[in-house]
Amino acid sequence: MTEWFAANWGTILTAGIIVLVVILVIRVLIKDKKAGRSGCAAGCAGCAMKGACCRQHETGKSSSGKRK
């Protein structure tokens, strides 16, 4: 077992770091979702998916019901 660990310590360390980074990213995404922040930081004007991300783009109305 010790020989195997000694031969593979670099791979184990790299995998551990990658797992840690993925866990931290997921944690931040969950915190942002709970805080009501979206994943789009720049707004919808330049987004290629602006017509598909929410219903207000499809109807042309804002959440208050007024026309844009």
- Report the number of distinct structural domains present in the chain: 2
Q: 51 and 58 in contact (C-beta within 8 Å)?
A: yes
Same domain, 7 and 30: yes
Same domain, 6 and 33: yes
- Does pTM surpass 0.95? no
Same domain, 6 and 25: yes
Q: Which residue range(s) make up the domain with 56?
A: 44-68
Same domain, 8 and 33: yes
H-helix or E-strand containing 26? helix 2-35
Same domain, 31 and 51: no
Same domain, 31 and 52: no
Q: 41 and 47 in contact (C-beta within 8 Å)?
A: no
Residue with tokens 């990658």: 18
H-helix or E-strand containing 57? helix 55-59
The angle formed by the CA atoms of residues 52, 57 and 63, to the nearest 5 degrees, is: 125
Q: Is the pLDDT of residue 5 over 70?
A: yes
Find the mean pLDDT for residues 3-18: 96
